[in-house]
Each structure stands twice: as C-alpha cells, then as structure tokens.
Structure 1
C-alpha cells in the first residue's frame, strides 16, 4: 500500500481532497447524532475489552475464580470485565496485554 501525504487548510475547503468529505452530510449532522455515535463507539469498545479479557483468561485455561486469584483481582472485577460492565484500565490493561503475549513469564512473575 502506498502512503500519500497531503496538506490541507481547514479555512480553505478547496484544499481538501476530492471525495473525502461530504459537506452536505457533515452540515446535516446534529449534536444528537454525534452523541448517539459516541455512545455506540463506547459500547463497542467495552465489548471489545470484554472479549479480550475473556480470551486471555480462556487461553490460560483458568476459571474466573482461578484467574482472579492468579492476578490478584477480585472475582467481581473479572466478571464485570467479561460482561462488559467495566473496562480494564491502567495497570490491569497492561497486565492483560502481557498475559496475552507472554503468559508463562507473566504468571511466573505473579507467583
């Protein structure tokens, strides 16, 4: 795939590449449309995080209770992650990434 760099001037619509912006659709977009799309995006992100947390745990072959003990996180938190009620953040998110990429080393370090 070829990468093409372009320069645009937001004050000059003529500098925008052809076919990239539908100004009629953009002008017709309401604040409510934007809020609705943000909600949809956030919901999808939560579901993606839930699938990721569940996939990491199942790849390790652990039950939710075993997984919560191994990574020292409450069982309720694991359930909330996997049900999409909460999203792992910060250190928990980093730990899940490490468990996904190098499970043996991560579990050994946690013992």
Structure 2
C-alpha cells in the first residue's frame, strides 16, 4: 500500500509547492500535526532518546555529565545545543552504553 502511494505520487507537483501552500494544506488537514521548527524537532528527538533510555532527566544528566538545567533547557526548547553538544547527543543516541562506559572514572561503578 505504501509502495503504491509512493509510486502514484506526482513528485514534481509536490516539489513545486511553496512553503505557504504546504502550511495551508497542513492547517486544513485535521489529521496533520503542526509543522515543527528545526529547534522543536531537536528538542523532541532529545526527549525521545532520553525516554527511550528509561532515564529521568536527572539520571540522564548525571550519566552523561550534562548539567541538569542545560538538559531541561534543551528538552523544553528554551536553548539549543551548540554543534559540539549536538554531536555528543548524536553519539549518545546511537551508542548510549559505550558513552556511559567511557565516562566512568577508573575504580568507580557505572
């Protein structure tokens, strides 16, 4: 069913839509969620990665050495991570256990 929809879509017509037309179509569709800004998408991805880990904000911040206030600001979209923090978060998202092990001080439990 998905393959048929992709095959039958007029991609040239889709590519020709302006941002205003896309926004109007989204607003007119009761089943569509709101269009998210890049900052909102980053905040949602971070919340999702943390929740998938099963950790609270406090536990996640402690495990990955991120100030709790900074994590909260990122998750709530009040502040955006800089390029280095985004790269670090991407690594945590893909390899959380590797990062956690790498951050353990020698002679201390994880």
TM bucket (normalised to shorter chain) is 0.5 to 0.7
- Aligned equivalent of 2:51, options 45, 50, 58: 58
Aligned Cα RMSD in Å? 2.7
- Aligned equivalent of 1:93, options 71, 86, 93: 86
Q: TM-score, normalised by structure 1?
A: 0.58
Q: TM-score, normalised by structure 2?
A: 0.59
Structure 2 residue ranges without an equivalent (≥5): 1-12, 19-34, 105-110
Structure 1 residue ranges without an equivalent (≥5): 1-18, 26-40
Highest RCO, 1 vs 2 (Cα 8 Å, sep ≥ 6) = 1
Alignment of 1:17-96 (within 5 A): 44-96=37-89
Size of the alignment, in residue pairs?
Answer: 78
Q: Which has the larger radius of gyration?
A: 1
